[in-house]
């Protein structure tokens, strides 16, 4: 099922509000989001032109969400590589030459024995410019041509389905192949701490290994390249 909206506060919030009234997987897509959010409720710039969606999957084990974040990142990167040289900035960003072109937010709701996963993604496709404070880019800026967002969405959903069935070992291997921050200085920010480290690789549990420690996805609020 596809729910198509011209404008909404957030496809993620909309999907989480209506999912209990529906009985199958569905996708919410919006032409524009006014209060889109990323991890830890950070705002996400979502004007007309981009691809903004949430894919709701029922019956997905909540405990698999951390590795699912990496699988979805790879699925989107795989589709985007037809147009741009896309890399993964652990754990949930896709970048081109260090500039963000896509972000992913995965959340889960458990009610009794019923678990539901919400895959939220924003992809900068046909956006001409960004606020100066954002280190971001788009397919249009990089390639000078617009994409059909509906066709791109169909390809991404198909890719997500394939990657969610990918085994964890090969997922981590592929993450490390396309890890943008490998051997780069990164600034890591937690609730009451920050560190500057050299990123090395992602281990089999999806953790970032650096020269100054091992970091879980849920412990890092923000990662920036130096």
pTM of the predicted protein model: 0.94
Query: Cβ contacts of residue 50 below 8 Å, gap of 6+?
Result: 122, 123, 124, 125, 126, 127, 138, 149
pLDDT tens-digit series, residues 28-57: 999 999 987 755 456 678 999 999 999 999
pLDDT tens-digit series, residues 94-115: 999 999 999 999 999 998 888 9
DSSP H or E run through 97: none
Tokens 């249009």 belong to 140
Contacts 24+ apart (CB under 8 A), 125-134: 125/49, 125/50, 125/51, 125/149, 125/152, 126/49, 126/50, 127/47, 127/49, 127/50, 128/49, 130/45, 131/45, 134/45, 134/100
Is the separation of the CB atoms in 198 and 62 below 8 Å?
Answer: no
| pLDDT at residue number 40 | 45
Q: How many residues does the chain have?
A: 226
């Amino acid at each position: 099922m596809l729910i198509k909206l011209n404008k909404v506060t957030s496809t993620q919030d909309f999907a989480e509000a209506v999912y209990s009234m529906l009985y199958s997987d569905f996708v919410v897509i919006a032409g524009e989001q006014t209060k889109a959010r990323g991890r830890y409720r950070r705002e996400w710039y979502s004007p007309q032109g981009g691809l903004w969606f949430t894919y709701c999957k029922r019956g997905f084990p909540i405990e698999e969400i951390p590795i699912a974040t990496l699988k979805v990142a790879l699925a989107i990167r795989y589709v985007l590589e037809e147009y741009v040289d896309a890399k993964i900035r652990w754990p949930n960003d896709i970048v081109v030459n260090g500039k963000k072109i896509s972000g992913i937010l995965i959340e889960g709701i458990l009610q009794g024995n019923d678990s539901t996963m919400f895959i939220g993604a924003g992809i900068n496709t046909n956006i001409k410019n960004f606020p100066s404070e954002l280190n971001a880019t788009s397919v249009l800026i990089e390639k000078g041509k617009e994409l059909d967002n509906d066709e791109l969405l169909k390809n991404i959903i198909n890719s997500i389905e394939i990657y969610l069935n990918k085994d964890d070992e090969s997922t981590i291997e592929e993450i490390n192949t396309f890890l943008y921050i490998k051997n780069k200085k990164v600034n890591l920010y937690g609730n009451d701490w920050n560190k500057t480290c050299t990123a090395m690789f992602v281990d089999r549990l999806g953790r970032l290994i650096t020269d100054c420690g091992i970091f879980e996805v849920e412990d890092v609020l923000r990662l920036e390249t130096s």
